[in-house]
Amino acid sequence: MTSRPNETRALLVLMATSALLLMLGLGSRELWGPETRWANIALQMLQSGDYFDPYLMGSAYYDKPLPSYWLITASSWLTGGLGHWSLRLSSVIAAWLSVWLVYLIGEQLFRRGTGLIAGWMLATTFYFVFWARVATADILTVCGVLSAVWWYWRQPDDTRLSRYCVFFLLLSVTSLFKGLIGFILPGLVLLPHLLQDGRWKRHLNLRLCAALIVGGLAYGLPFVLSHFYGSPTYGQSGLGLVFRENIVRFFQPFDQFGPIYTYLIYLPIYTLPWAPCWLLGLWVAVRNWRTLEPNTRWLIWGLGLLFLFFTASGSRRSYYVLPLVPFAQLLAAWWVTRFQEHRRMADKVQGRALKVGFYAASALLLLALGVIAPWSNSGGGIIQFGEDVKARASQIAPWDQWRMVMVDVDNKVPMYLQNGGAPFYYVAATQDFPREGNSEQFMAWLMRASGQPWNPKRTIIVTRYRRGGPLPLNYLSIDHKVVVTQPDNGERLLHPRADASAAYIPDTSNP
């Protein structure tokens, strides 16, 4: 049997490896997919000083509660500005804590060593690590769900007010990251245990009601602050968007129409390379259901209820399955420890086989996410575009003296052109800006549309275009220098992206 010092050492190795997997190359990969929304909303908060009204590219955009944006802005204060690290740091920390929480839950509820194996499985699950390195609210939700489940299982029969309050505060904070699933998912996972032996009856008391009120007040606080301290002209209601995004979307989805079998496909994919282990564990558990230990029955029931909930929603997307992944890996770890116990394998054989598998998976993840992905984003792309614009503009005037006009711009661009100056001015493709003409006509239109004065010699105009097609606003090139996106290493190796950006910088040498 493993000694306690060895267990501590094994946990430290797991957590250190997890940190390396989550952070290596994190600052070298350009913005990707949905994290552009978090980057732009956080950037506009920092530029405007308004932290209660989320704007995306100049338009009101309250589809998620405020705290996930606040975590990013707080990280930017710690790191000295908004960048890759500050943008993704909260997700990375949440993922790292999730590995630790899975370890704690596994060690508490199942055979000794189950938590450590489950932690390694989660830490080396490709899609878990991938999404942990993306600035969205999904991994924050996973961490919040695991925190609530762990807190409950510490003392499931404790009815003290303080324990109820902590539990409901955890649910409230989790719901403030992505939506009401922060309340729903832990409730579904824990429901089978509450129903067992009528355990729910002992929790029907006034202390529970008082704690529920405390949790509700904590949940409502950011919305109240937004109402009283946000702009009186802001056009969206945070609570109204909560209803639309969580209730209406569930019963009457308006986008993200995946087929009903979506999660039958994506749960195995999102648990690779360990999907065979939990599938085998599920098969073994069903075959031996009558003799199965209660905690394993709870795990399978909880996992099943989560699966049914997400499948019942009309709005389905692959990464929505992420909250199921830690519980699937707990089931996988349960099967591994059960298999070892029944086969009575020697400790050395057990340890060697598991270590080889976990270290091999770690090495592949480090290579793919920590080396190949950063290399593919270097040598060009949007990161180099930002550097090129800064270098060219700084030859004319200090970078912080420039103002930016973003005309139907790529969502990635704003973060790479921030200069600590005035907020960017966004022009939508639907606006009637001059498609033809000259720079004087464009600047005259800009002053009318914005109601602000603009210095033509200190204004950079940025837009996007399709490679191979004409540059939009190309008439500006007569008296502006043009900087365009260059292919990065990945594009040179494979093929260039269709979308590119162009920046028009005033040419002061042109009279």
Q: What is the pLDDT along the chain (511 residues), one digit of tens a residue?
A: 455 678 889 999 999 999 999 999 999 899 998 999 999 999 999 999 999 999 998 888 888 899 999 999 999 999 889 999 999 999 999 999 999 999 999 999 999 889 999 999 999 999 999 999 999 999 999 999 999 999 999 999 999 999 999 999 999 999 999 888 999 999 999 999 999 888 899 999 999 999 999 999 999 999 999 888 888 877 677 777 776 666 666 666 656 667 888 999 999 999 999 999 999 999 999 999 999 999 999 999 999 999 999 998 877 889 999 999 999 999 999 999 988 776 665 455 555 778 888 999 999 999 999 899 989 999 899 999 999 999 999 999 999 999 999 999 999 999 999 998 889 999 999 999 999 999 999 999 999 999 999 999 999 999 999 988 889 999 999 999 999 999 999 988 888 788 899 999 998 765 5
The structure tokens 């190359």 sit at 25
pLDDT at 504: 96
pLDDT at 93: 97
C-alpha distances out from residue 403 to 38, 288, 358, 459, Å: 22, 68, 50, 5
Q: Tokens in use for 13? A: 């190795």
Nearest of 341, 302, 303 to residue 112 by alpha carbon: 341
Q: How many alpha carbons lie under 13 Å from residue 408 in its C-beta half-sphere?
A: 16
Contact 26, 45 (CB under 8 A): no
Nearest of 148, 129, 149 to residue 139 by alpha carbon: 129
- Give the pTM: 0.92
Question: DSSP state, 160?
Answer: -
- 10 Å Cβ neighbour count for 230? 19
- 10 Å Cβ neighbour count for 395? 10
**Sign of the alpha-carbon dihedral angle for 165, 170, 176, 181:** negative
Phi, psi of 392 (to 5 degrees): -70, -45
Pairing of the two strands 403-407 and 459-466:
parallel
Q: Is 290 helix (H, G, I), strand (E, B) or coil?
A: helix
Q: What does the alpha-carbon distance between residue 271 and residue 329 come to, in Å, rounded to a whole number?
A: 7
403 forms beta bridges with: 459
How would DSSP label each residue in 406-468?
Answer: EES--TTHHHHT--SSSPPEEE-TTS---SSS-HHHHHHHHHHHH-S---GGGEEEEEEEETT
pLDDT at 1: 43
Residues 6+ apart with CB under 8 A from 223: 65, 238, 239
Helix axes 325-343, 294-312, angle to 10 degrees: 150
Q: Is 477 helix (H, G, I), strand (E, B) or coil?
A: helix
